[in-house]
Amino acid sequence: MASIWAMETSIRRRKPLAGDLKTEVAVVGAGMAGILIAYRLQKAGRQVVVLEAGRIGGGQTRNTTAKITSQHGMFCQKLIQNLGRERARQYAAANEAAIRAYRELIDSRGIDCDLEAKCAYLYGVDREALQREAEAAASLGLPAVYLEQVPLPVPGAGAVRFAGQAQFAPLRFLAALAEKLTVYEQTRVLRAEGQTLVTDRGQVQAEQIVFACHYPFINFPGLYFARMHQERSYVLALENVPKLDGMFIGASSDACSLRTCGDLLLMGGESHRTGEDRQGGRYAALRQRAKEWFPGCREVACWSAQDCITADGAPYIGRYAASRPDWFVATGFHKWGMTSSMAAAMVLEDLMCGRESPYAAAFDPGRVTLGLLPGVAEESVQAARGLAKTFFQPPKERTILPGHGGETAVRGEKAGVYREDDGKALAVSLRCPHLGCQLTWNPDENSWDCPCHGSRFDKEGHLLSGPAQKDLRKR
């Protein structure tokens, strides 16, 4: 299930690290965040290397829908409530500055990545809520107006329109930007010891380290595992569709995201907390909605991705922890990682070069906000549930049919089994190697997913995405 970006773009392969090295800055992760951060730091005169466990852009970035926008759903009122007006203003200004920075970078380097100016629409049927959101957004300096109608087949919907937004082809952009960077692919960072990163290919000593690996996998210090969870969403690329003018996101949590891409329409939705999709049917539900909204449409591709969600709605960008002043982090992008990655690159360039950042306070990972405490409590409850399942629920033997996966008992112990069509059983431990939570089967993706922190593994137990850094044990 490759995305249209992955199908159209081939990024030059890089060699793995071969032995030890020293550098000024080491960036962990070569997704949109890592590459932008490395690019800006290198441009500012720093010596930078990027360490990537897989391929450049091979993480969540290859499966994004790549809207470059400061319109992040129904978020402005929540943000003002959680961060306070001043920091919410900084958040808005950083995201608008990020859109300008993309334009300048793409224009100045002549990057061929289909950058197109678009309006962004937040649509919904609760007009009063949309009006309040438009007012809140405008009060933060965002280019927002309320509209009575939205150009979409949603009966009775109004919208908040943001002018001056954009969309692009993310992997083509990333390929061009990475061209002049030193990136080591197939090089997984296993742990960090002070200023040394220990990888599976050698050690890297760096004056400053940036964790841009989507979900920070170093649990202590930082405690990011207690402050974020992950959410998955699903995307269809459709042809034979009307040409929509704009990018769209629904105001309710079950609504759809839409953008064009040439003659195609990308339709996203069916979000859920990673690890909570036991029933499956996410693609089927999205296909059903596509048929209702765009009769005659044909599907050309489908894929899915996930992102980190923080308790108060803003990413964590800045110093990793007070006890590690030379470690930095960029995570928690809430499915808005295009502008957030650029905002991260701008903020970290300032902080790491010893300058003040006008936006740093809004993203400070050490912030304490009103929204944070209940959020942390909820994360802890969820993690405790995941752990409790492993330890307290006895294994039950169940028949797993061909083409299905599920929990069962193998030699008296709890295990996850996927049964191939030919009857062969693939059995793995259900204990997540990250923090030991019990994994659940995701029938939409044929994967084992962690409901606490969102790590994912394929049916054979190979790691798909972190924070876990190891495969599952075979049973």
Ligand X SMILES: Cc1cc2nc3c(=O)[nH]c(=O)nc-3n(C[C@H](O)[C@H](O)[C@H](O)COP(=O)(O)OP(=O)(O)OC[C@H]3O[C@@H](n4cnc5c(N)ncnc54)[C@H](O)[C@@H]3O)c2cc1C
List the beta bridge partners of residue 449.
Answer: 440, 456
Q: Which is nearer to ligand X, 63 or 408 (CB)?
A: 63
Q: Minimal distance in Å, beta carbon 251 to ligand X? A: 16
Distance CA 394, CA 211 (A): 38
Q: Minimal distance in Å, beta carbon 61 to ligand X? A: 3
Distance CA 164, CA 95 (A): 12
* Angle in degrees, CA 261, 262, 263, rounded to 5: 105
Return the H-helix or E-strand segment holding 100: helix 85-109
Q: Which is nearer to ligand X, 140 or 197 (CB)?
A: 197
Q: Minimal distance in Å, beta carbon 408 to ligand X? A: 30
Q: Minimal distance in Å, beta carbon 217 to ligand X? A: 6
- Indicate the DSSP class of residue 474: B
Q: Report which residue's Cβ sits closest to ligand X.
A: 337
Distance CA 245, CA 420 (A): 44
The candidate with the shortest Cα–Cα distance to 13, out of 238, 186, 202, 161, is 186
Q: Minimal distance in Å, beta carbon 268 to ligand X? A: 5
Q: Which is nearer to ligand X, 117 or 384 (CB)?
A: 117
Distance CA 249, CA 259 (A): 9
Neighbour-count burial of 458, counting CB atoms closer than 10 A to its CB (0-12 exposed, 13-18 middle, 19+ buried): middle
* Angle in degrees, CA 198, 204, 210, rounded to 5: 90
Q: Which is nearer to ligand X, 303 or 418 (CB)?
A: 303
Q: How many CB atoms lie within 10 A of CB 93?
A: 18
The candidate with the shortest Cα–Cα distance to 428, out of 403, 400, 459, 398, is 459
Distance CA 225, CA 32 (A): 22
Distance CA 317, CA 362 (A): 9
Determine the 3-state secondary structure of 236 from DSSP. strand
Q: Which is nearer to ligand X, 99 or 140 (CB)?
A: 99
Q: Minimal distance in Å, beta carbon 423 to ligand X? A: 34
Distance CA 123, CA 255 (A): 9
Q: Which is nearer to ligand X, 93 or 415 (CB)?
A: 93
* Angle in degrees, CA 84, 310, 383, rounded to 5: 135
In this structure, is the dihedral angle defined by the CA atoms of residues 408, 413, 418 and 424, taken in order, positive or negative?
negative
Q: Which is nearer to ligand X, 246 or 407 (CB)?
A: 246
Distance CA 454, CA 445 (A): 14
Determine the 3-state secondary structure of 81 from DSSP. helix
Q: Minimal distance in Å, beta carbon 35 to ligand X? A: 8
Q: Minimal distance in Å, beta carbon 393 to ligand X? A: 30
Q: Minimal distance in Å, beta carbon 193 to ligand X? A: 14
Q: Which is nearer to ligand X, 304 or 369 (CB)?
A: 304
List contacts with ligand X (CB under 6 A). 28-34, 51-54, 58-61, 64-67, 188-189, 212-214, 217, 233, 235, 268, 305-307, 333, 335-339, 341, 466, 469
Lookup result for tokens 């993690």 = 383
Q: Minimal distance in Å, beta carbon 338 to ligand X? A: 3
Q: Which is nearer to ligand X, 133 or 185 (CB)?
A: 185
Tokens of 89: 């203003």
Q: Which is nearer to ligand X, 234 or 441 (CB)?
A: 234
Q: Which is nearer to ligand X, 42 or 408 (CB)?
A: 42
The candidate with the shortest Cα–Cα distance to 211, out of 129, 97, 315, 141, is 315
Q: Minimal distance in Å, beta carbon 262 to ligand X? A: 16
